[in-house]
Structure 1
Amino acid sequence: MLVPEVSRQRPILYSFRDVVALRTCVYLRKDSSPQRVRQSLGNLRNLGEVGHLSQYTLVSDDGSIVLVRNDEAIDLVEHPGQFVMAEMSDVLGPIVNRNDVQIPPLLRPNDHVEVDPEIRSGHPVVTGTRVPYENVAGFVADGVPMRSIKDYCHRWMRMRPQTHGSSPSTWTAGGRGNGDRPRLPDADLVRR
C-alpha cells in the first residue's frame, strides 16, 4: 500500500510523511477491513488524487472511508465519488485499534520524546532538545551513568553553527560519522 520515500531496501527507512500515511492506515483499519482500506486508496487514485497519502484527510464513517477536503467529504468505498457528511478525527493523536490497544500520539509518544517535522526532519528527539532519542536510549542500555548522559545533552543543546548556512543537525559528538553513537563522557563536540 505504501512505498517508502527514503529507502525501499533493507534497512527500510520511512520519511515523516510515510509515518503519517502509515498511521492513517492504522486509524482506518480500526473500523474497516484491509480490503476496504485498499479499495478506498484505489478509488482515491481513480478520482485523480495521486499525491502522497499523507496529503489527504481520510476518515472512517459508518463503515465507509471518506476523503475530506475543502469542507467537503467524498465517499471512497460505499458510493465512490459521492459527497457525504463525515465526522473529523485526529490521526496524529492517540488511537485505539481494533484489539483495544492504545497507540500513542505520533508527535508526543511519551513524556520524554517528541516528534516535530521542523526539528531534525521529524526524527524523534528528547523533549525540548535536538538530541536524538536513540542516542540517549543507547547510552542507558550501555550502562552509561546518568550524569554523563545529562552532560552530553547539555553540550548538544549549547552547540550553534559557526558559519552561515550550517545546520545544527550537522553537528555530532566524539568524531562520529560512521553511524555509531558518540563516545561518552569526555567526547568533545566537533563538526562533521
Structure 2
Amino acid sequence: MADEAFVRSLFAEHGRAMLGYAYQLTRDRAAAEDIVQEALVRAWRHADDLGSDGKGSVRGWLLTVVRNLFHDQVRARSRRAPETFEAPPDVATERDHADQVVASMVVIDALARLSSEHRAALELTYLHGYGIAEAAEVLGVPPGTVKSRVFHGLRALRDLHAADETMKERSVV
C-alpha cells in the first residue's frame, strides 16, 4: 500500500510534466499516456532507489525514463515491417501531415525570434506542460514573472504571425 501511495504522489507531483513531455515527443495523447503509465510502473519497481539517497532529481529520473521509453518505441517500430492501412472508402482520411510540419516550422521560427526569457517561459508552460509555479522554480523567478513572460510572449507571437501574414499578402499583390 505504501508503494501505491508513493506512485500516486509521484503522479500528483510530476504527472503533468511527464505527460507534457511525452506528448511533445509522441504528438499522440494516447501514446503519451501509455509512456507515462509505463514510467510510473518503473518508478514503482524502483521505489526503494528513488528518494532514498537524496541523489539527483526524481523529476529528472522520471523524464529520462519517459524519453528512453519513447526512443525504445521508435527503435522497435523501425525494426518491424511498416504497417499498412487502407481506409474504407466511406471513412474520411486524415489531412496530409505536411500541413502539421509547416505549422511546426512556423512556430519554431517564431519562437526563435522571441527573447530568451519569453521563449523559455512559453516552452516550459506550453511544450513541457509545467505549471506556473513549476516553471518559476525552474527559471528561478517569481510566479508572477512567469505569468507576465507567458502573456507577453504569446502577444509577441501573435504580432509576429500578423506581421508575417501582412508580408505574405503584400508579396502576393
- Superposition TM-score, scaled by structure 2 size: 0.30
> Which structure has more strand as a fraction of its residues?
1
Higher relative contact order (CA 8 A, sep 6+): 2
> Which structure has more helix as a fraction of its residues?
2
